[in-house]
Structure 1
């Protein structure tokens, strides 16, 4: 019996069976995430972190909340894996800086033109050639500065607030508004970028498989995915600023402000 299974069996009757039944979900999520991570990341580390997330999900799941256990566990598992990845940030600071520069360029260009920023326009704004700009996109693929996983699956906080019946109504409305704004931002992506996001996150295809569907190289899919993420960051910047400001406030103060 594994250490996780032993711990689960001690905690509550039937917990071990629930964890064992959903262990394949951990592996599936881990291999899905590995599709865009560098070779320095070991899938075994993700699986180990994911099993801890699954165990926590099994211990805390409440069917009265309405979500299926698989949905709830998937969020916890991804969250645990992302927490593990955040502990080992392999991305150079220069890559983070360039990613922020691209997002800002997209924001400025789209605010000025009222339409999707084009590759050539962003490259010109940044003083880069088109090939240099595409290389920046390639470099930022593994940059975790912004991703749908971190927005949708960072949900530990969201889940905790949903589970807390005393969560302030204003915060619940903010989370709902954020989700709606994100959905609108995704729907407003250029067609190819939206398709890449859909195939990757909904159909769970890897980058090579998406390239085969689109008839482009895997590196081009990486560029499209990276650009989609940065475009979403640019369009969601106001919401991200609100979330970061709220996260920086002490929890007690957040509740006091919400009640005011």
Structure 2
């Protein structure tokens, strides 16, 4: 639907894309601690959708859904950061798991098993699996991952503060892609154990939920959560130098 000026009607965009906001919130919620409320994510996502409908210009060639999804996801992440969704202790635990995996795989020359990772952390296997459950959602990309040695607190964030969202030039996503990060990510996924590759494919490509993935892998939903957390830790360990 268009206005008399030939632009897309804002109310129509909001109504049409409400299901997308809920879908994105559910996908993000699966990777977050149980303390995060779905309604809070949806509310933040709707704010992002409203912002997208205000800023979108259909004469630029980009599809609205593509443009809006970036704004929606950004609004949800802002909400999570504002409410300190992951405690400092959990984030430190997540980093310890990544460091243990990286050290083990460097020594072994192969992917480490759960028992081996648990021993590296000096933990019982049950405790390690419980930790995986706890750190689920503490593995989103940290701003600190982009900082260079010797930099102050958040210089990378400051460098991007004046970025107007153009693709290319100073856009951080474009910089990552141009630097070959996409190819390194593909290689890192290919080096994961087959079960981890299957899980990531089912979750991110097929967009199945944890219950559906559990049925395919013949494990419980909570076990899928643990395996997903470990798979992401493996990826982060493999990509540590690139990040």
Structure 1 residue 62: deviation in Å? 4.9
Question: 1:144 & 1:115 partners in 2: Cα distance?
Answer: 22
Question: 2:61 & 2:195 partners in 1: Cα distance?
Answer: 34
| Residue deviations 1:51-97 (CA, integer Å, cap 9, x gap) | 12112222333556654322232222122111111111243333222
How large is the RMSD of aligned CA atoms in angstroms? 2.9
Structure 1 runs of 4+ with >6 Å offset: none
Equivalent position of 1:243 in the other structure: none
TM (norm. structure 1) is 0.73
Equivalent position of 1:175 in the other structure: 177
Structure 1 residue 119: deviation in Å? 1.3
Moved more, 218-227 or 87-96: 87-96
Question: 2:109 & 2:43 partners in 1: Cα distance?
Answer: 46
| Residue deviations 1:96-117 (CA, integer Å, cap 9, x gap) | 2221111001111112222112
**1:156-195 counterparts in 2 under 5 A?**
163=166, 167=169, 172-176=174-178, 177-195=180-198
Equivalent position of 1:200 in the other structure: 203
Q: Which runs of 5+ in 1 are unaligned?
A: 1-11, 152-156, 241-260
Equivalent position of 2:13 in the other structure: 18
2:33/2:136 contact within 8 Å kept: no
* CA distance 1:105–1:29, shift in 2 (3 Å): same
Structure 1 residue 215: deviation in Å? 0.5
| Residue deviations 1:124-165 (CA, integer Å, cap 9, x gap) | 111112222212111111324549xxx9xxxxx7xx676256
2:167/2:174 contact within 8 Å kept: no
TM (norm. structure 2) is 0.78
Question: 1:25 & 1:181 partners in 2: Cα distance?
Answer: 30
* CA distance 1:137–1:38, shift in 2 (3 Å): closer
Question: 1:68 & 1:171 partners in 2: Cα distance?
Answer: 18
Question: 1:221 & 1:105 partners in 2: Cα distance?
Answer: 21
| Residue deviations 1:169-208 (CA, integer Å, cap 9, x gap) | 9984543322222232223221111211122222222212
1:104/1:234 contact within 8 Å kept: yes
Q: Is it true that 1:55 corresponds to 2:50 in the alignment?
A: yes
* CA distance 1:228–1:65, shift in 2 (3 Å): farther
- Aligned pair count? 219
Q: Which runs of 5+ in 2 are unaligned?
A: 1-6, 147-159
- Give the secondary-structure state (helix, strand or coil) at the position aligned to 1:116: coil
Equivalent position of 1:230 in the other structure: 233
Give the structure with the larger helix fraction.
1
Structure 1 residue 118: deviation in Å? 1.6
Equivalent position of 1:77 in the other structure: 72
Equivalent position of 1:119 in the other structure: 114
> Out of 87, 95, 108, which is 1:92 matched to?
87
**1:22-41 counterparts in 2 under 5 A?**
22-41=17-36
* CA distance 1:174–1:35, shift in 2 (3 Å): closer
Equivalent position of 2:154 in the other structure: none
> Out of 102, 109, 114, which is 1:107 matched to?
102
* CA distance 1:67–1:182, shift in 2 (3 Å): farther
